[in-house]
Chains A and B, each alone.
Chain A
């Protein structure tokens, strides 16, 4: 049933008369508010009379309109008269006398531009210091755990191996295959112009085993497991489970981080080997389509690789795995408070994990070059 609207009339030029409808609630106040505000915009109004004669029901929104009209009239020097408001509604209006709504207190001021730069710089410095400290602590904890293997939580470690390694196998196989396939396909076209298609096998094998296999594996691991580590530990932090561990005298580093780091160290080289293997199969598909037999491809790959290529790739993968697990756990431990904190930790874990992987890959390139590997 349509409700009766607010009635507006002007018995004389300086007076505005508003008759409230029987129902002034959350459903009807919006329309009344707009029409009353528009009517009050006339500059010649000296008196505002509001009649609540028909009013049967009013709620918080309706009271809000009365407060708004009263305060607006006061601000514009207009006389405000409210007539016939039923007594049972008077306490609702009395709860908001003029000036009873103070201006909002200021929340924490956002920092200025220069301050932001300073804070970011200081934050970066703190972050690097924390990272270095955490790396040292983690290395010590892993070393100690390896010396005392009974202290390691093997059930947690193998469970993480399954989640980060075994469960990642399908995506790793797909990524590896596609990387090998795309690499071979993209390089085959220009190489054909020089009659050098056979060397596509060399390119695929060398780049996968030395570089792309470990790198892609680590990036997938950062997105998949590094974020999961940060979210798991971050949620524990938010739920005060880390405080519970600390007060029991159990160090979260040994209890939570070491099993995850060991699992990452175990699975990353294995996954990197599989990435390279499936990449080689992707390359093989392209080579077969170009008319080269399987035996030619295999012989070309074997000839292109030197004995240290595979182990050097695995060594990289091992370090990448440690970095991904370490930064994931560190971001989890650094989780703040609030609903968005875990999400922020997860994002920071993935971003920092990929950044560290690329930086350390560059470092590996320099070291391997210096060593002649």
Chain B
């Protein structure tokens, strides 16, 4: 069993004193594709943003490779952030920059690579996500699916050990979505990148996830953990089984 790369310990988070996630604890292992799922409004994206240090929890800790991102400040925090890459629901590419410039930005800011190296590395990242040739295009000149892939290329610019993806296949057609799933598996297997993905797209979950945790808005905590096929077939909680089998909740 590989060692845990991320440890979430007794994390409680919410807004304006209202608890959304209550006392969550789990681990993400090196090299696995880990999916956070649950119904709308259960706090999936909130959990992701707590894990990447964008929001401060009410209590608890998130340890990335042993370092607590909740309490880290200054250079310590930057050192943790260098280990992670993040893509957001909208892609969040910088609209005034070409795709190559988007990828080159972290390379220019945080490495001493010469310009020709930054250009070559940027082009290689674009090729990895199937966007070779689109270096000089602006985000507005490419489709939504291509933007999501370009966002993944940017998140990989510094070769982080962990990639956090927030709803990567939301709004994509099934073919593009399947292509993105294949890309995630390929990156996990060839580069050994650990993925933490928020999604509720069932086909994607079955295609990419090694393990999932399922959040529940009613209990505000984790109701199930395990490989997706196992949860679909053998989960004790009837709501979890209904979720995986896409059955309507008539209660």
Contact = CB atoms under 8 A, between A and B. Distances in A.
A337 B138 CA distance: 12
Contacts of A59: 159
Interface string B124-144: 110110001111111111000
A105 B133 contact: yes
Contacts of A107: 98, 136-138, 141
B44 interface: no
B136 A67 contact: no
Nearest to B127: A101
Contact of B113 (A30, A95, A103): A30
Interface in B133-186: 133-141, 156, 158-159
A132 B137 CA distance: 36
Given A26-B158, A59-B159, A64-B121, A100 B141 contact: no
Contacts, number: 90
Contacts of B123: 101, 104
Contact of B95 (A92, A95, A101, A340): A340
B120 A67 contact: yes
B139 to A, nearest CB: 8
A339 interface: yes
Contacts of B134: 104-105
A92 B156 CA distance: 14
B117 interface: yes
A105 B124 contact: no
A2 B164 CA distance: 30
B40 interface: no
A63 B114 contact: no
Interface in A16-71: 25-27, 29-31, 33-34, 37, 59-61, 63-65, 67-68
Nearest to A72: B116
Nearest to B125: A60
Interface size range of chain B in the complex: 20 to 34
A108 to B, nearest CB: 7
Nearest to A31: B112
B154 to A, nearest CB: 13
A104 B127 CA distance: 11
Contacts of A91: 190
Contacts of B190: 91-92, 95
B111 interface: yes
A106 interface: yes
Nearest to B117: A33
A195 interface: no
Given A30-B111, A64-B117, A104-B134, A339 B95 contact: yes
Interface string A107-142: 110000000000000000000000000000000000
B96 A339 contact: yes
A13 interface: no
Given A105-B136, A107-B137, A64 B124 contact: yes
Contacts of B125: 60
Contacts of B137: 105, 107
**5 closest Cβ contacts across the A-B interface?**
A30-B112, A59-B159, A104-B135, A339-B95, A64-B121
Interface of B: 94-96, 98, 100, 110-114, 116-117, 120-121, 123-125, 127-128, 132-141, 156, 158-159, 190-191
